[in-house]
Amino acid sequence: MSSAKPYIPHHRGKGAPGAANLRIDWRAELRIWWREIDKVVLGLVLLLMLIGTGAVAAASPASSDRLSTADVRLSEFYFFKQHLVWQALGLSVMLGTSLLSRERARQAGILLASAMLVLLALVPLIGFEVNGARRWINFGFSLQPSEFLKPGFAVLLAWILSLRLRDPGLPVLAFASAIMALIAILLMLQPNLGDTMLFAGIWFVLVLLSGVSVQRLSVLVGAGIAGVTAAYFLYDNARHRIDSFIGGGTAFDQVDLAQRTLLAGGWTGTGLWLGVRKMNLPEAHTDYIFSVIGEEFGLLICAFVVVLYIALLWRVLIRLVDDDNLFTVLGAAGLVAAIGGQAFINILVNLQMFPSKGMTLPLVSYGGSSTIAMCLTIGLLLAITRRNPFLRRQSPGLKALFERKEEPA
């Protein structure tokens, strides 16, 4: 075998060889990134975003008409054009974040959670109100801290719960539960029952996978049920939405209109921009975009969207089955729980099977903070689940979480 050194082209000018090496390093890093990321997950995400582009284009005229005033008339495609901008920014964030190593992604998630917790605490003080809820802070642009806290929360809890492998005596469950309780209190001050339930769902998934004893888990679940009961009696907004859902609501409330719109197109839909019922639907481009898809593209496309979300969840969980890193298993499970939980809450609301929660459909609905935050979530998921395809794993991975003996948390 030849021992000759590789040929390096001669560059004139100071610093030229270094620039060449930098370009070579970047190309090598990109090749490694492409080899290690889950391309199936990336493909499913891009397909959902493509469907979202068509859905927002369909919903934009309805929302523009409803939000126009006598003084300001919005273009029919105002929200569609804005959506393209947010999607471009979101894709940049997602791909940039996915370039991080697992360790860097963990550090970024913890820092994100810490920063968003501080901002969430400031929302009641300096936030501004929209439709009776104070959830946003104005930095020259609207920022909803709870949206960006979701991925950070999943990563933070995964890191805390994974520490029990180093020291089984650490009270990791107490730490995780205290953080969950703090977030629940801050969210209910807005009030935001929907996000509180989603955060609780993420917490529940991670605690369940971390191997907490059934007795401890039962106590915590009981505390959660007590919290929801208290919210029903203490918060008028929560009580009205739950009562409306149980009692069937009024003839044409939001959820009823959403279901009527969803079914109006039949199996194949009316066709793009031919829907009529969407014109009476509030938040057609955000909370109720699934109903717009049903009217204009048909129930078959709605079913396809549901299948895409299930495929995304399934792919991530299957990839974790043989992973030997507890933080990776918990972090990826928490992130995909945030995506899947929000998606199916939104879909069930549109089907009139869940009380209205004011949640967008991930990767599909129009949004600024929500689009960037969801793309950041996907980016962290891709970064955490990166793996060398040439390394064979023989550890039981996710299966071990259910097979090992229960240990005190």
- What pLDDT digit, counting tens, does each position of 29-53 carry? 888 888 889 999 999 999 999 999 9
Asked if residues 255 and 245 have their Cβ atoms less than 8 Å apart, the reply is: yes
Average pLDDT over the chain reads: 82
Asked if residues 398 and 329 have their Cβ atoms less than 8 Å apart, the reply is: yes
* Separation of alpha carbons 177 and 210, rounded Å: 13
DSSP letter string, 254-323: HHHHHHHHHHHTTTT-S-TT--SGGGG-TTTTTTTHHHHHHHHH-HHHHHHHHHHHHHHHHHHHHHHTT-
* pLDDT confidence band for 315 (50 / 70 / 90): very high
- Burial grade of 107 (CB within 10 A; 0-12, 13-18, 19 or more): middle
* Separation of alpha carbons 400 and 38, rounded Å: 22
pLDDT of residue 405: 42
| pLDDT tens for each residue of 75-112 | 888 999 999 999 999 999 999 999 999 999 999 999 99
pLDDT of residue 46: 96
Backbone angles phi, psi at 271, to 5 degrees: 110, 155
* Separation of alpha carbons 150 and 374, rounded Å: 9
* Separation of alpha carbons 57 and 306, rounded Å: 20
Amino acid at 175: F
- Judged by average pLDDT, the poorest of 153-167, 266-280, 335-349 is 266-280
- pLDDT of 140 above 80: no
Asked if residues 106 and 331 have their Cβ atoms less than 8 Å apart, the reply is: yes
* Separation of alpha carbons 76 and 236, rounded Å: 35
The Cα angle at residue 40 between residues 48 and 367, in degrees rounded to 5 = 25
| pLDDT tens for each residue of 165-197 | 777 778 888 899 899 999 999 998 887 888 888
pLDDT of residue 256: 75
pLDDT of residue 131: 67
Instruction: Provide the residue ranges of all domains of the chain, joining segments of one domain with +.
Output: 38-403
* Separation of alpha carbons 261 and 192, rounded Å: 26
Task: Please state whether the peptide bond connecting residue 191 to the residue before it is cis, i.e. omega within 30 degrees of 0.
Answer: yes
Q: Which residues pair with 137 in a beta bridge?
A: 143
